[in-house]
Amino acid sequence: MHLHLLRTILAAALGLVTLLGLTVPAQAVTKLTDAQAASQLSAAGIGRSSSGGCTSRYGSTCTSYEQINQATVDGIKTFKRISGCAITITGGTETGHASGTYSHWNGYKVDVPLTTCIGNYITSHYAYAGTRGDGARLYKSPSGNVYARESNHWDILYYTCGC
């Protein structure tokens, strides 16, 4: 009886750790320069937009790819391909986002606009995974990446290059 209860508690704890994104990525992280990432993303038909019209990592109104993870670039390229949606990145590795291990600054996240195509694809293909502390609705892909529906954009966390 006690062994069954312990197994149940451990399974629930593991599920919570995974849901909160506290797992460690399986592969080594490869960092890209802004130019390297921009080249790959542009070639895939993915645009970039910033309210400040800039790409500096140190400007909060810029959209930078400096030090973005290769898996993040591959992930958004894969998402574009499988969803068929137009993708414009509005947030990258620039300052001004929340801190943490799996953060924008550390190359794990990108922001994209709230378009009908993107929203419909995420909500119909990925599992609803509850809400984040700030109230953002979370959707988790089969590969473990997390799509958070914030008030004016999707905040996407790529642990792996799969969607």
Answer yes or no: is 75 within a domain. Answer: yes
Could you tell me if residue 14 is inside a domain? no
Q: Are 18 and 144 in contact (CB under 8 A)?
A: yes
Question: Per the domain annotation, does 99 fall within a domain?
Answer: yes
Residue-wise pLDDT for 100-156, tens only, equals: 999 999 999 999 999 999 999 999 999 999 999 999 999 999 999 999 999 999 999
Residue 87 lies in a domain: yes
**12 within domain boundaries:** no
Residue 97 lies in a domain: yes
| DSSP H stretches of helix in 20-163 | 34-43, 70-83, 116-125
Report if residue 9 sits inside a domain. no
**Residue-range definition of the domain harbouring residue 90:** 28-157
pLDDT of residue 9: 46
Mean pLDDT over all residues of the chain?
88
Residue 106 lies in a domain: yes
For the chain, how many structural domains are there in total? 1
**pTM, entire model:** 0.82
Closest to 87 (Cα-Cα) out of 78, 96, 97: 78
Q: Both tokens of residue 120?
A: 């419909």
Residue-wise pLDDT tens digits, 39-53:
999 999 999 999 999
